[in-house]
Amino acid sequence: MPTRSQVLSDIALHRQSLRRAGNPHLPLLELTAWCPIRDVAVDLVVIAAALLLTLQQPWAIPVSLLMLGNRQRALGNLLHDAAHRNFSRNRRVNDLVTRALIAPLLFQSLSRYRELHFRHHQGLGAAGTDPDLIPIPPEKAGSWVRAVTLNIFSLRAWLGSTWGHLIDGAVPLWRRMYVLAWWAALMAVLAAAVGAQATVAMLALWLAARATTFHVITTFREMCDHHGLTPGGVFSFTRDIRAAGLWSLLFHPRNNAYHLTHHLLPAVPYYRLPEAQRVFSALPEYRAKAEVCRTYFLGPAPAVSAWQRGSRA
């Protein structure tokens, strides 16, 4: 069973490696304010386009669901960065922007998200401590497809994907009411702009995307982070995926595939994670211990291979 001390030991080892190398990571900690502003704007434009496309062309619903689920995942990754205060080192600015534009759109409480995510980092892989831990089966599935399917059909995970913190009893009622009030205000604005019927249709499509494509993408993404690895510290239980192309854009928008890099140095903003991973790759300790995959499905040691029987992990 991994302990917090094992996690902290890996992080301390990594930071010692960086110091010995002359602290090449320091420039990577600098924040560029326009990056998250640009990316939030891009996501909102794509979301608006997907919703309007469906209103004009109902046959495009499957395409719109995929676009929406992918952008919901992208916004979720931005929320993750905001939880680490990687939008702005000014706490008030960071949290105000996140609570105004991102968290309620995803049915999330920033405070609750931050609390749970901190526990994930500190208790990585520990049953009962790590809130993001996907249950580790006593025996791996016969195929990675079955492994993914079993997790997709987890009722608890599906409800969380669909309704977020609205159904989390640990979130104070007033925080959940804020999310509902935020949505009521958005619905009122949309109804005035495009009419009540179109607004209801857009809300239904948003919820449908969360219940389908977003849930599938999120489940697969979470399995890519840690599943199939051995609990016992950051290096043993976290992987980086250096894949590019459409699969990366679908499952890991905003560089979220560099998960080991993130756990080793959470203060690196998402737009500098690829560069950070290249810097880390020059460190002997990282090269010796890191689990790095270069593909999702094919080629030598793809990420999914660790989820099925016969894998090396």
User: CA angle, corner 174, sides to 169 and 175, nearest 5?
Assistant: 70
Q: Which is more confident, 254 or 1?
A: 254
Helix (H, G, I), strand (E, B) or coil at 248: helix
CA dihedral 215, 7, 11, 285 (to 10 degrees): -100
**Where does the pLDDT of residue 218 fall: very low under 50, low under 70, confident under 90, or very high at 90 and above?**
very high
d(C-alpha 158, C-alpha 291), whole Å:
28
Res 139: pLDDT:
79
d(C-alpha 1, C-alpha 127), whole Å:
8
Residue-level length of the chain: 313
Model confidence at 269: pLDDT above 70: yes
Element at 291 (helix H, strand E): strand 291-293
**Where does the pLDDT of residue 137 fall: very low under 50, low under 70, confident under 90, or very high at 90 and above?**
confident
Contact 216, 224 (CB under 8 A): no
For the chain, how far is it from start to end, CA to CA, in angstroms? 16
Model confidence at 209: pLDDT above 60: yes
Res 25: pLDDT:
96
d(C-alpha 215, C-alpha 2), whole Å:
28
d(C-alpha 245, C-alpha 80), whole Å:
22
- Rounded mean pLDDT, 22-28: 96
Res 309: pLDDT:
64
Helix spans in the chain (H): 4-20, 34-56, 61-83, 91-101, 110-122, 144-152, 155-163, 173-194, 196-211, 213-226, 234-237, 246-251, 259-264, 273-280, 284-289
CA separation, residue 250 to residues 4, 10, 177, 232, 257 (Å): 32, 30, 32, 30, 11
Helix spans in 57-125 (H): 61-83, 91-101, 110-122
Model confidence at 16: pLDDT above 90: yes
Q: Specify the residue for token string 């929320």.
A: 79
Res 141: pLDDT:
82
The pTM of the full predicted model, rounded to 2 decimals, is 0.94
The region that residue 111 occupies, defined by phi over 0 for left and psi between -120 and 50 for alpha, beta otherwise, is alpha
